[in-house]
A and B are shown apart, each in its own frame.
Chain A
Amino acid sequence: MSGHVAPIRLYITIFGSLMVFTAITVAVAFVNLGALNFPVALSIAIVKATLVVLFFMHLKYSSRLTKLVCGSAFFFLFVLFGLTMSDYLSRGWFTAPNGTTSAGSLVNIGPPPPPAPEAAAPAEASPAPAH
C-alpha cells in the first residue's frame, strides 16, 4: 500500500510555519499576560500539533476511519482533562448551609509552619504506643 505523496514545497512550508509558531510561543512566554499565558501557549501548541498531524502524518489525505481514530484520542483526552479539572477547579464554589467547603478548596502554598521543638521533642522521646 502506498500513501499520499505530497510536494516537497508543502513540507518545507509546514516546517517554516512550525518554526514561526515556536518563535511566537517563546516570545510570548516573556510577556506577563496574567491568566492568559496558559491558554495562549496551549493554543499555539494545539495549532502546531494540528499542522504536524494533518500534513506530516498525512491525516488530511487519510480515510475517514483513520480520522475518527485520531479524533477519538483527543476526545478521550478532553474527557480526562475536562472531568478532572471540572472537579478540582470548582471546589469551594459552593458551601452547604452550616457546612464546610469541601477538601482542597483552600490551598496554602505559604511556608510550612515553624517546628515546635518543645512539643515535638517529648513526642519523639516517648515510646510509640502502637507497638
Chain B
Amino acid sequence: MLGMWVFLVTEVMFFGGLLTAYLVYRVWYPVAWAEGSLELDILMGGFNTVVLIGSSLTMALAVRSAQTGAPKATVRWLILTILLGLTFLVVKFFEYKHKWDLNHIPGPNFEFEGPHAPQVQIFISLYFGLTGLHALHMIIGCGILGVITWMAHKRKFSPEWSTPVELSGLYWHFVDIVWIFLFPLLYLVDRAHQAG
C-alpha cells in the first residue's frame, strides 16, 4: 500500500513540472490564456468531469465489495468503472478531433486568428501535453482494471486479501484528482476575463 502512495508522490511531481510551466506562461501571457481557454469546449470538459468523478465512485464501491467479500458486485463495479473511463476517452477523442479539424494542433500547420497566435499555441501545447499525459494514465488504468476484473471474476480476492483492488483504486482516484485540477485550470479560470 505504502509503495503505491510513494509512486503516486512521484506522479504528483511528474504532473507538477508541467503545471509549473503552465503557471509561468500564464503569468507571462494572460491574454493568450484567456483566448486559449475559450477555445475549449466547457460542455465536453464538464461532462467528462462528471463521468470521471462517477467512475471514482464506482471504483470506491468496487474496492468496498472486494473488502466485504462480494466478488460478483466487485466485477460489476469494476466493469462500470472501465466503461466510464472509456466514455471519458471517447469524449476526449472528439475534443482532439475538433482541434485537428480547426488546425489547432501545435506545429507548422497551426492556425489561429488574432495577434496572440504564438502565445495561444503555447497554451494549446500545454493543453495537449497535460491532457494527453492524463489520457495516457487513463488508458493504462483501464488496462490495469481489466486485469483486476479478470482476477475478481476468477475469485482471487477475499476480505483477507484484496490488496490489488485497493492499489488500482488508489491509482484510479489519483488520475481523477489530476483531472479535478486540469479541468478548472485549462477550461475555466480565464474564461470570464475574455468575456468582460
Q: B156 interface residue, CB < 8 Å from A?
A: no
CB distance A77 to B188 under 8 Å? no
Q: A1 interface residue, CB < 8 Å from B?
A: yes
Contact with B along A1-38 (1 / 0, CB 8 A): 11101101001101100110010011011111110011
Q: Identify the closest chain A residue to B27 (Cβ).
A: A88
Q: Complex Cα distance A109/B28, Å? A: 8
Q: B94 interface residue, CB < 8 Å from A?
A: no
Q: Complex Cα distance A69/B10, Å? A: 11
Q: In the complex, what's the smallest C-beta–C-beta distance from A5 to chain B, in angstroms?
A: 5
CB distance B68 to A38 under 8 Å? no
Q: A84-B20, A109-B29, A109-B30 are in contact. Are A5 and B184 (CB under 8 A)?
A: no
Residue of A42, A52, A111 ringed by the most chain B CB atoms within 10 A = A52
Q: Complex Cα distance A129/B172, Å? A: 58
Q: B67 interface residue, CB < 8 Å from A?
A: yes
CB distance B184 to A42 under 8 Å? yes
Selected from B9, B42, B118, B176, the residue in CB contact (under 8 A) with A73 is: B9
For this complex, 18 residue pairs linking A to B, each with C-beta atoms less than 8 Å apart, are A2-B162, A3-B1, A11-B64, A12-B57, A18-B53, A22-B49, A41-B188, A41-B189, A52-B173, A56-B176, A57-B174, A66-B5, A81-B16, A85-B27, A88-B24, A107-B28, A109-B32, A110-B115
Selected from A8, A37, A74, the residue in CB contact (under 8 A) with B64 is: A8
Tell me what chain A mostly uses at the interface: helix, strand, loop, or mixed. Answer: helix
Q: B56 interface residue, CB < 8 Å from A?
A: yes
Selected from A6, A45, A55, the residue in CB contact (under 8 A) with B184 is: A45
Q: A22-B50, A66-B2, A107-B28 are in contact. Are A29 and B188 (CB under 8 A)?
A: yes
Q: Identify the closest chain B residue to A69 (Cβ).
A: B5
Question: Inside 8 A of A45's CB, which chain B residues have their CB?
Answer: 180-181, 183-185
Interface residues of B (CB under 8 A from A): 1-2, 5-6, 8-9, 12-13, 16-17, 19-20, 23-24, 27-32, 42, 46, 49-50, 53-54, 56-57, 59-61, 63-64, 67-68, 115-116, 118-119, 159-163, 166, 169-170, 173-174, 176-177, 180-181, 183-185, 187-193, 195-196
Q: Complex Cα distance A85/B21, Å? A: 10
Selected from B23, B54, B183, B187, the residue in CB contact (under 8 A) with A81 is: B23
Q: A119 interface residue, CB < 8 Å from B?
A: no
Selected from B6, B12, B31, the residue in CB contact (under 8 A) with A109 is: B31
CB distance A15 to B54 under 8 Å? yes
Q: A2-B160, A33-B192 are in contact. Are A69 and B2 (CB under 8 A)?
A: yes
CB distance A109 to B119 under 8 Å? yes
Q: A116 interface residue, CB < 8 Å from B?
A: no
Q: A32-B195, A110-B115, A111-B115 are in contact. Are A56 and B56 (CB under 8 A)?
A: yes
Question: Inside 8 A of B53's CB, which chain A residues have their CB?
Answer: 15, 18-19, 22
Residue of A1, A29, A69, A107 ringed by the most chain B CB atoms within 10 A = A29
